[in-house]
Structure 1
Amino acid sequence: MGAGCDYCIFIIARYREELRSGRDHHDALHEAIVWAGESITISGASVIIGFGALTICKYSMISTMGICLALGILIALIAALTLIPAILQLVGDRIFWPTRMDAYKEGGKATKGWYAWFGRLGDRYFHRSAEFSIKHAKAIAIVAILVSVPAVYVVSESEDSYDMISSMLSGESGEGMEYIGEFADQGMVMPNYSIIEYEDSIATVIKGTTGLDLLYWTDYWNDKVSPTLPKLYEAILKDDNIAYVDGPFMWNEMLKEIEEQGITDVDAKLEYVKDQLSSKSGLVFNQVVANLTERGLPAQALFDGPALIIDSMLLPDHPFSWEDAVDDARAAGLTDPDAIVAFALKAYDDKYPGDASLKTIIAGMAFAGLTSDVVVNGFAPVIDNIMNVFPSIVGGDYVKTGAGSVTYISLLTATVEPAMSPRSMDSIAVIDGAVEAYVAVNSDIVVEKWDTGTAVVMYEVSEQVKDQFTMVEIVVIVLIIILLFVVMRSYLIPLRSVLTILMSISWTLAMTHLIFVDLLGEDVLWMIPIMLLVICLGLGMDYDILLTTRIKENVKARGMSNDDAIRHAVTHTGSVITICGLIMGGAFGTLMISGMTLLQEFGFALCFAILVDALLVRTYIVPAIMHLLGDWNWKGPGVKLEKKE
């Protein structure tokens, strides 16, 4: 909408200027279409180049946006070149109602009194600004350089943020994230995952008949894989921003730790287990305990195993220790779980002939999916399955059928700070480096590794987009320089145009960082700089081309000197450029009333860039530079030809 308004204003303003100079309707419209039409055609082409270059990006959101914006500018340009002249042809000077062009004739209302004073206020200001720019051209150029150098330094030294989530959070969602940060690690909301595939099966999942599946670790896991993981965890946790690493869980290892700690109280055991788990695994373990208590079983059964359940279900007048019976079976040299169960049943039958209580209990457990191995060795296969399979800590062929081999593990890492904060993005590199080193050292057992997660995906997308945007920026700059070179037939004007716009962009980025980072404590999103450059290279050309083509018209077609051409062009286009800048800047500035930091930053950056370019750069700096360049402005491939003609 902003660009479309600019093009329409350029045509209408030039039409009014020609009418005020004394031309009749047809001549005024002809001049407006010829000269202002040339300006907006070049401007529109430069904007289309800027937005069209976005289609090079493989990130569909940006490429689609580029196509839509380029088409929108093309339609606005066609409308300005066809519809607006048609309307002016039909309506004439009535389009300026209630003001009539007769008021600008000698002795008319607009030539005397306060009406004339206010009517010429803009012309007087821009005439004086042109005189000031020419008179103090060197000082203005030096000041522009002195401001640009620290601005470029600020931009080059500033870090951009990848935190798309925080930049879009507002209202209750933002408050909720802050509330999480008060009681837990904010990175837990979007953890990172490192997937590692091994050469051989590390575990086997057995599908239970009643949905109670079991997970058994293989000797390959116990002997070759498990011993290598502690060093990996240690390497990752060297980063203070890593809150925890969540890897494969082994209940038997946890029981050994509890025994080594000398903990005997059940509640203390439960607290110890929870302290060793991450917040996510802790939730799963809480569900294990809840399911146990819902079945009327004490939490102690988790630690004592089936022996506690079996002993508690036997008749009070038939005392029997299942654990002692299992120990006796092992002392007798038995190792097979089925053989041990049979040995224990025989021992009970010998002690209480004819009593089938124990046999019934064992049969009930088998029906519930508890195999002889679980009954003999404890609940480790059940708990390991719940703790590893449900949260997808392990993976493999079993995923398709519910049973089979396990060949993958997933290491979940959560950061203290929000997952996409600058510090957490640095932590991603730490995690990747640690896993890469682990794979290199253990290449004999590791097949492949992958890093994923929302933050990792955003990090990779941003890095790819940055690389692609480097090409986009080069394409935009080169094509715009070629366009201006062909149209202006000048060697220096295209370079001067691009450099002054880049100067505006550097000032804008520096101010954005100073306000949002240093003053407001926010982060500048990585998309802001690259989008600002492409958009401003296109849109910023509007005002430069309008001014430069008017100066060229004065020099080439009207025979003015370089300085006179600058004065005349600034005086007659200054008001139009200012109005268009206010319209365009205001359109972007409305984004600042949003509650989202992302939109506020986009709104401020684009609004500031457009206003600085329209009100300062085109009004003072460009005239000063063109004065200093003098006739060198018009040195180009067409100069000799024109002289020959």
Structure 2
Amino acid sequence: MFERLGRLVVHNPWKVILAWLVAAVVIVLFAPGLHDVTNQDQADFLPDDYESSQAMRLAEEKFAQSNDASATIVIKRADGRPLDDADQATVAELAGRVSSAGIDRVTGLAGPPTVSPNRQVQLVTVGLEGLADDQALLDAVPALREVAEQSLDGTGLSYAVTGDVAMFADNADAFDTALLVVGLATIVLIIGLLLLIYRSPIAALLPIVTVGVVSAISPGLIAWVAQATDLRVDPSLEIILTIVLYGVGTDYILFLLFRYRERLRAGEDRKQALVTAVARVGEVIASAAAAIVIAFSALLLAVFGAFTSLGPGLAIAVVAMAIAAVTLVPAIVSLLGPKVFWPSRSWQRQPTGTTFQRLGRLTGRRPALVAAVSGAVMVLLALGALGMRWDYDQSGQLPSDTESARGFADLQAGFPAGALNPTVVYVRAEAGQRLDPTALRQYADQLTAIPGIGGVMPAGPDGSPVGLSQDASAARISLLLAGNPYAPESLDLVGGELREIAHEQAPAGSTALVGGVTSAFADIRDANTRDLQVIFPVAGLLIAIVLALLLRSLVAPIYLMAAVFLGFLSTLGATVLAFQGIGGRPGLSFMLPTILYLFVVAIGTDYNILMIARLREEARLGNDPRTAADLAVEHGGPSVGAAGLILAGTFASMMLAGVAFLTEMGFAVAIGIAISAFVMSMFLVPALTALLGHRAWWPGHGNATAGGTGPAGPVPDREPVGAAQR
């Protein structure tokens, strides 16, 4: 199949390029943009049967503005003394000016200014119309700060605007800078490393041009599918999409160019060499893309919507990139021929005494030692995962030198840490009856007596802790947690004891639901745990099936997937040691396992597929298992190493972003890709295959003699030990 495709593309390059250009123009001009199908409604991220989702729906029904965002102005004396009556009067004037300033999306005050019991700080909570990440709300933050600055100038009071909206606004620049750094680093690394590898500006720019074309059309394709299938698209997809496309795109192009150069060195005609390269690498690329698509599509099994919205979109982009790798790239190379390596002439001669030749000989001669050492390295790193803890503190992942971060720290001088994100208990009367205010106050007292609850937020001018809906059929009680609302113990409290007591002690004739940010993250934690337990096994099984079909073997997929799982654990362990051990962080971001799943397990499997396909090809040419391992490392090692180095370097650049989460993510993925490429695929897999020998290909015939059928169709005769390529 791929040999026929190779001949079609190589001998009709202009037609293929024209077809791509026409498709690109049509999609760019007529397809909707990703922003047209992006869903920013966080309520959709959890299914309806989770309690926090039910509480949110009740809030929307009975308390119209409860789903809107807010900003909190934290005021204190600059000299650190308690606020006196004159200071509080000044704060009241500030609150009045905020209400009357006419700032877009400001709906007024969410309640009267609240002074802390120790009079160290006072809060002015400003109601905002919309979700926290709406751009109009982000634009309102500077206006609020300007009003506060003018009102408090010369009063001896200092202020800080904080809350989710302010944090989004303050950190927007940090994330924009991070994306710019990552984008530039990606391009510089790809060009720089490919210049080093091929000594050719044309070969270095080829991935940039090709991936650029696919990056231009992928958003339109995803948007079309999203509209046709009512697919939810998460705002973070566009960022991850760029990284995925440059990662897999560069990998696939490297696989093709390395094989093309190898066939040129073997003496094949420029056209035939390219046809052979497409024939040999085409099935590898298709299998690698299939593995990634399966891994990404397995996210559809997640119950947490932030994950399910990523999988299909990324899968569509990977399919487009794989098609480009076996059509557009060979078409361009067909026109250029060996000039793709210009001005270098190294493609004309086979290097001798290279590092990969020495590594190949070592693996072939001493596979047991290589397997033991590489396996031991991965196992030792994996032990670090035993101490892994999850961190749900979103504020702790952001820069600490912003005004919103300072405001959050100031707030804790007078209020419980949970004051910024109250946990709201909603009470609903059965059959639409009116609730009894006295019973509700007693109920609120019972809730505030629970250990870990630091207080209750007044709901009205009279200081009552209970806020009633207009028809008095529903009520809400805003509890302030004593600890950080994102801390594991807070999630345990809200998702456990608080919910149990809230349900059991609800006033007669009513039911209670616990909502708020902490309740949502308690549910997200449960959903995340469930998703990891379902997605990983299913994806692993499906990827193993792809490997079995590629290799016609039942044995090789077993140890390949075991190696991938060990690589995943070793990546987690290394990250735990770096951030929890050396860095002293309380835990790793709860999103990290899924991110590692996307990039390390899915994309890292590419390297395994390339190496195991080469091992099978060498075995089919009649080489004994150890010689096959030697040749596979010699010829497959450079492309695996180059691809791994580029992708790992791209993610490592995220550590320069200055955002804790991006630093953590960049390190984890970079170390994971490095382990996958330089330990697992380059040493462990070839060594294990050499030790297993012919049994690795059971029940297939991986040791067929020269002239047999290889993974990409008929394999031309050549010397069993690959003399023509040495």
TM range (shorter): 0.5 to 0.7
In the TM superposition, what is the alpha-carbon distance from 1:541 to its structure 2 partner? 1.3
Q: 2-side partners of 1:533 and 1:559: how far apart?
A: 36
Q: 1:51 to 1:443 in 2, by over 3 A?
A: closer
**What residue in structure 2 maps to residue 560 of structure 1?**
623
**What residue in structure 1 maps to residue 508 of structure 2?**
445
**Do the aligned residues in 2 keep the contact of 1:581 with 1:615 (CA within 8 Å)?**
yes
Partner SS for 1:23: coil
**Matching residue within 605, 615, 634 for 1:541:** 605
1:194 pairs with 2:194: no
Equivalent residues in 2 for 1:525-540 (5 A)?
A: 525-540=589-604
In the TM superposition, what is the alpha-carbon distance from 1:581 to its structure 2 partner? 0.5
**What residue in structure 1 maps to residue 493 of structure 2?**
427
- The structure number with the bigger radius of gyration is 1
Q: 2-side partners of 1:619 and 1:554: how far apart?
A: 15
**Do the aligned residues in 1 keep the contact of 2:625 with 2:693 (CA within 8 Å)?**
yes
In the TM superposition, what is the alpha-carbon distance from 1:465 to its structure 2 partner? 3.5
1:161 pairs with 2:391: yes
**What residue in structure 2 maps to residue 342 of structure 1?**
none
In the TM superposition, what is the alpha-carbon distance from 1:80 to its structure 2 partner? 0.8
1:610 pairs with 2:700: no
* RMSD, aligned CA: 2.9
Q: 1-side partners of 2:346 and 2:443: how far apart?
A: 88
Partner SS for 1:410: strand
In the TM superposition, what is the alpha-carbon distance from 1:489 to its structure 2 partner? 0.8
1:180 pairs with 2:244: no
**Do the aligned residues in 2 keep the contact of 1:192 with 1:452 (CA within 8 Å)?**
yes
Q: 1:612-645: per-residue Cα shift (whole Å, max 9, x none)?
A: 1111222222222112211111112567999999
1:36 pairs with 2:267: no
**What residue in structure 1 maps to residue 614 of structure 2?**
550
Q: 1:120 to 1:183 in 2, by over 3 A?
A: farther
**What residue in structure 1 maps to residue 448 of structure 2?**
233
Q: 1:370-412: per-residue Cα shift (whole Å, max 9, x none)?
A: xxxxxxxxxxxxxx76433xx8x3224xx2xxxx5x3444332
Q: 1:415-470: per-residue Cα shift (whole Å, max 9, x none)?
A: 333211223222323xx424524543x57715211010012112212322331343
Q: 1:229 to 1:417 in 2, by over 3 A?
A: closer
Q: 1-side partners of 2:554 and 2:643: how far apart?
A: 28
**What residue in structure 2 maps to residue 394 of structure 1?**
467
**What residue in structure 1 maps to residue 525 of structure 2?**
462
**What residue in structure 2 maps to residue 129 of structure 1?**
359
Matched to 1:630, the amino acid is: G
**Do the aligned residues in 2 keep the contact of 1:162 with 1:459 (CA within 8 Å)?**
no
**Do the aligned residues in 1 keep the contact of 2:379 with 2:570 (CA within 8 Å)?**
no
Partner SS for 2:589: coil
Q: 2-side partners of 1:55 and 1:168: how far apart?
A: 29
Which protein has the bigger helix share? 1
**Do the aligned residues in 1 keep the contact of 2:383 with 2:570 (CA within 8 Å)?**
no
**What residue in structure 2 maps to residue 570 of structure 1?**
633
RCO comparison, higher one (Cα < 8 Å, 6+):
1
Q: 1:542 to 1:98 in 2, by over 3 A?
A: same
**Do the aligned residues in 1 keep the contact of 2:423 with 2:517 (CA within 8 Å)?**
yes
In the TM superposition, what is the alpha-carbon distance from 1:135 to its structure 2 partner? 4.1
Matched to 2:655, the amino acid is: M
Equivalent residues in 2 for 1:241-640 (5 A)?
A: 242-244=453-455, 246=456, 280-281=457-458, 386-388=462-464, 393-396=466-469, 399=470, 406-429=472-495, 432-437=496-501, 439-440=503-504, 442=505, 445-522=508-585, 523-556=587-620, 558-637=621-700
Q: 1-side partners of 2:684 and 2:347: how far apart?
A: 36
Matched to 1:525, the amino acid is: S
Gaps of 5+ in 1: 105-110, 112-118, 204-216, 247-279, 285-383
Q: 2-side partners of 1:641 and 1:577: how far apart?
A: 25
Q: 1:175 to 1:126 in 2, by over 3 A?
A: farther
1:70 pairs with 2:300: no
In the TM superposition, what is the alpha-carbon distance from 1:202 to its structure 2 partner? 4.4
In the TM superposition, what is the alpha-carbon distance from 1:143 to its structure 2 partner? 4.2
Q: 1:556-613: per-residue Cα shift (whole Å, max 9, x none)?
A: 1x21111111101100111111111111112222222122211111111111111111
**Do the aligned residues in 1 keep the contact of 2:384 with 2:574 (CA within 8 Å)?**
no
Partner SS for 2:512: strand
Partner SS for 1:631: helix
Equivalent residues in 2 for 1:7-22 (5 A)?
A: 7-22=252-267
The TM-score normalised by the length of structure 2 is: 0.59
Q: 2-side partners of 1:412 and 1:460: how far apart?
A: 19
Matched to 1:14, the amino acid is: R
In the TM superposition, what is the alpha-carbon distance from 1:483 to its structure 2 partner? 0.6
Q: 2-side partners of 1:633 and 1:588: how far apart?
A: 34
Share of identical aligned residues, percent? 25
Q: 2-side partners of 1:228 and 1:452: how far apart?
A: 16
Q: 1:613 to 1:227 in 2, by over 3 A?
A: closer
**What residue in structure 2 maps to residue 87 of structure 1?**
332
Q: 1-side partners of 2:257 and 2:671: how far apart?
A: 26
Matched to 1:20, the amino acid is: R
**Do the aligned residues in 2 keep the contact of 1:588 with 1:607 (CA within 8 Å)?**
yes
In the TM superposition, what is the alpha-carbon distance from 1:103 to its structure 2 partner? 4.7
User: Which piece of structure 1 moves more, 510-519 or 468-477?
Assistant: 468-477
**What residue in structure 1 maps to residue 162 of structure 2?**
none
**Do the aligned residues in 2 keep the contact of 1:170 with 1:595 (CA within 8 Å)?**
no
1:57 pairs with 2:133: no
Q: 1-side partners of 2:622 and 2:686: how far apart?
A: 18
**Do the aligned residues in 2 keep the contact of 1:196 with 1:446 (CA within 8 Å)?**
no
The TM-score normalised by the length of structure 1 is: 0.66
**What residue in structure 2 maps to residue 273 of structure 1?**
none
Q: 2-side partners of 1:81 and 1:626: how far apart?
A: 28
Partner SS for 2:511: strand
